[in-house]
Structure 1
Amino acid sequence: MSSDTDALSGLRQEIDRLDREIQKLINQRAACAQQVAHVKMAAQGEENAVFYRPEREAQVLRAIKDRNEGPLGAEEMARLFREIMSACLALEKPMHIAFLGPEGTFTQAAALKHFGHSVVSVPLGAIDEVFREVESGAAHYGVVPIENSTEGMVNHTLDMFMESPNKICGEVQLRIHHHLLVGAGTQPDTITKIYSHQQSFAQCRQWLDSHWRKVERITVNSNAEAARRARDEVGAAAIAGDMAAELYGLSRVAKNIEDRPDNTTRFLIISKQDVPPSGQDKTSVLVSMRNQPGALYHLLEPFHKHNISLTRIETRPSPNGTWAYVFYIDFEGHVSEDRIQNVLKDIEVEAVELKHLGSYPVGVL
């Protein structure tokens, strides 16, 4: 017993020593971040200095994952460094991040996953408000949903890119888990109505039909709003995620009720800045083609010609005419590359309009 106690004591002392060393190194890193801020402000001016560099952060996080040897997994290690980097960046300049609110939404969870918890979160009521907040400079960056693996594209976000000067500077994917939640005054057998966002109802349709077919389903603007109502109304339940459950103090009647186990939403980071290449990038464009036979072929042929992989293509009605359409396209590569420049030149010959929405790092976390 004595030898076991001695061994445990020795291990704890080693952990304490490592903790002190880690803390010292983190503070040294933070001091370096402050020096970086001073250099940037001296070179660019305090108002014009750019502190957050999406391509640099992507490169750092990729390197962390690549060199990780365990026992912690690469994703977990990268998340730890994400928070360290977030705290260090806040010493340079606290960032204001607009997102589709209210607090407790999956969009907020995506924002914190991408930027870390040392940012100022700015919840807004609609996607167009997020775009305007960034465009006006009131927020440094915005986070908006763009597509879900179950329900497809978020059309409002696509439509905003047609008129907004904002650029895409990043992406983040969030695994979406839905739970059936109730407040303290509601028991499962007393549930008479379920609140949620229309997307969440759609993503849980089969489960609801099997378990709560006869209960009224009421659509609200967000899952967080659904959670608030479930907290305040006896007999009400909500479909929402972990963040909303914790924020509003709700209990889980059922966990992970989404119909597809791989249910994932992709979010875009928007800003007013162009992003240099990170080494593993995507480019997004909007293209309006002439309404004539072979238009789609002429749009896609340059990608085949230059061996560029498309990751997404969607069609939206054009605001400029009846039965006219705009193509939203994501593809691999950065606009600074010659091959991407050649693709865009070929498309421009055939297109009525070509709008570059941004080149940005492929999501790391």
Structure 2
Amino acid sequence: MAISIAHLGPTGTNAETATLAYQRWLEQQGETKSLLCPYPTIAQTLYAVAYGETQQAVVPVENSTEGTVAIILDSLWQLDKLKIQQELVLPISHALLSRRKSPKGLRKVYSHPQALAQCQHWLEQNLPSVSLIPTNSTTEALHQIALDLTSAAIASPRAAKLYNFPILVNDINDYPDNCTRFWILELTPTSIEGSRISLGFSVSNNVPGTLVKPLEVFAKRGINLSRIESRPTKRSLGEYLFFIDIEIDSEFNFIEEALAELRIYTETLKIFGGYRVFSLKTIDIAQL
């Protein structure tokens, strides 16, 4: 039986590209064949695996330019049965697509909010008067502009090829080393192994030193934190959840000790998984 994998669709999104790369990796490992299942929003992708519609989901969690995809952290806290199995780092290249012959005269640009944000400076400098219109995905943006010669979309070169859309301008992302972390999620519990652990916690009181004590748990053992981020609890203004990524390059016993002590200083502690990180290269994407 094939493994079903949810991702943000339709065909041509960066999430689908990441899922195809993961699918290829599964095949190289001799795993069972997989079936890709596109969903119209990231939220629906997460709920698909949480409610058993699919066995896995591939979702974007953080971009090097625009930071965290907030809905992922919020949903992972609420749907805490979901566990991170692996991470895939995908280089992201954005292009301006349109049936128009040149960017001059464009009135609207459609794309996913993350893509619009990752090209913000380019848009301000080159198309300062256009209206920016968010869509559920970069590929959905192409459907919006199919018959409108005054509109353009920001999508990947791969999407341009798949949908036979002319590229007006290539590589319009503000930073050349633009990349996105994708997590592979499923309901299967994971052990604390790999190169990284992701967790979240809340604290009982918003008083001086409340956050210092949990962080000292790692600092005194020489454990590196590669990311720390706060999100509102949604219970009360000024209350926050904290999300941390731990680099596993210390002795394993130190990690176990740190997590045990961390429970003393937290109200709720949730470990989302230990996992390995794989980085794709542009040449790998071109072959998908």
- Name the SS for the 2:263 alignment partner: helix
What residue number does 1:114 align with? 22
Q: Which amino acid aligns with 2:197?
A: T
Is it true that 1:289 corresponds to 2:203 in the alignment? yes
Deviation at 1:276, TM superposition (A): 4.6
Deviation at 1:191, TM superposition (A): 3.0
Q: Which amino acid aligns with 1:158?
A: L
Deviation at 1:147, TM superposition (A): 0.8
- Name the SS for the 1:121 alignment partner: strand
Deviation at 1:190, TM superposition (A): 4.8
Deviation at 1:296, TM superposition (A): 1.4
Alpha-carbon displacement from aligned partner over 1:153-197 (angstroms, at most 9, x marks no partner)? 1111100011111101111111110001113xx221453322112
What residue number does 1:170 align with? 86
What residue number does 1:100 align with? 8
Higher fraction of helix = 1
Is it true that 1:144 corresponds to 2:59 in the alignment? yes
Deviation at 1:364, TM superposition (A): 4.6
Pair 1:320–1:344, CA change in 2 (3 A): farther
CA contact (8 A) 2:191 2:273 kept: no
Q: 1:187 aligns with which of 76, 97, 101?
A: 101
- Structure 2 unmatched ranges of 5 or more: 28-32, 281-288
What residue number does 2:258 align with? 343
Deviation at 1:277, TM superposition (A): 6.2
- Name the SS for the 2:121 alignment partner: helix
CA contact (8 A) 2:192 2:273 kept: no
- Name the SS for the 1:221 alignment partner: coil
- Name the SS for the 2:256 alignment partner: helix
What residue number does 2:120 align with? 205
Is it true that 1:128 corresponds to 2:46 in the alignment? no
Aligned residues: 270
Pair 1:159–1:277, CA change in 2 (3 A): closer
Please give the residue correspondences for 1:167-316 in structure 2 after superposition, counting only pairs within 5 Å. 167-183=83-99, 186-188=100-102, 189-276=104-191, 280-290=194-204, 291-316=206-231
Alpha-carbon displacement from aligned partner over 1:1-36 (angstroms, at most 9, x marks no partner)? xxxxxxxxxxxxxxxxxxxxxxxxxxxxxxxxxxxx
Distance 1:232 1:294 in 2: 58
- Between stretches 172-181 and 215-224, larger displacement belongs to 215-224
Alpha-carbon displacement from aligned partner over 1:205-245 (angstroms, at most 9, x marks no partner)? 22112222223322222111111222232332111102321
- Between stretches 300-309 and 224-233, larger displacement belongs to 224-233
- Name the SS for the 2:124 alignment partner: helix
Rg larger in structure: 1
Deviation at 1:325, TM superposition (A): 0.8
Please give the residue correspondences for 1:33-48 in structure 2 after superposition, counting only pairs within 5 Å. none
Using the size of structure 1 for normalisation, the TM-score is 0.70
Runs of 4+ in 1 over 6 A off after TM superposition: none
Using the size of structure 2 for normalisation, the TM-score is 0.87
Q: Which structure ranks higher in relative contact order (CA pairs < 8 Å, sequence separation ≥ 6)?
A: 2
Distance 1:126 1:176 in 2: 19
Distance 1:275 1:361 in 2: 11
Distance 1:132 1:260 in 2: 32
